[in-house]
Amino acid sequence: MFLYTVIILIAAIVLGALTIILVNKKPALRKLFQTFFALLAIALAAFMVFRIMQPIQFEKERKLREDTAIEKLKQIRTVQDAFKDKYGKYTGSFDTLFAFVNNDSFEIPSLTLVKEWNQDEVTKEDALKLGILVRSISKRSVKDSLFAPDAVVEDLKYIPFTNKEHVFEMGAGEIETGSKVKVKVFEAYALYDILFNGMNRQEVINYKDSRYKIIEFDGVKVGSLTEANNNAGNWEK
């Protein structure tokens, strides 16, 4: 922005000096140059407004895209956690994840009181043995538990603002911590170059550079395949 301003000022000084010389030699050109400079002033004003608004518009669009991607990554994390709770591991396959959502269910334990129960005299364990309390298990579909009724679960894999041409990268595995504990892990991410496709290239480069200094990654990511980070999102840093 500063460079453009300097160039414009130098050009204005040069044009002004030439105009003075020409008008002094040919006064009849005065009105022509007045019209020219009026139009030039309008064009320069429009250019300056554009240059001022460009980073503002970029930031607005950048935030919209990044926030939308983050919400999807949070949903992916929720489903992955539910999958692990039931099967003891994460999955690197969206097909497996969607099959879990659409076809599987959660078991929900409950206790039903069928007789009068004096809790001061009878413990819960004894109440179960005596038939005062009856333990039962009901089922609720994963999809109904985690998603709105009209949600299209399969759309979860698509990186937003890419016309469904790109999907989140996702992987799962197991690592060993420094204390020799084996931990199941997963990660899912979208690179900035894909998420911000079509936006001002220089602004994207500047944003990537500033974020990399903080998160050491060129995109938004949840979880990690190299460290046990409790499935944190790098936007939380």
Tell whether the model's pLDDT for residue 201 goes beyond 60.
yes
Question: pLDDT tens across 108-118, in order?
Answer: 777 777 788 87
| C-alpha to C-alpha distance for 75 and 105, rounded to whole angstroms | 17
Question: pLDDT tens across 2-58, in order?
Answer: 555 556 556 666 566 665 665 566 666 566 655 666 666 666 665 665 566 678 899
| C-alpha to C-alpha distance for 99 and 93, rounded to whole angstroms | 10
- pTM for the structure as a whole: 0.73
Q: What are the two backbone dihedrals, phi and then psi, of residue 134, each rounded to the nearest 5 degrees? A: -120, 125
What lies within 8 Å, CB to CB, of 54 at 6+ separation is 200, 203
Tell whether the model's pLDDT for residue 91 goes beyond 70.
yes
| C-alpha to C-alpha distance for 133 and 111, rounded to whole angstroms | 6
What lies within 8 Å, CB to CB, of 143 at 6+ separation is 101, 102, 151, 153
Q: Where are the domains of the chain?
A: 2-50, 58-104+149-236, 108-143
If you ran DSSP here, which 8-state letter would residue 181 be given? -
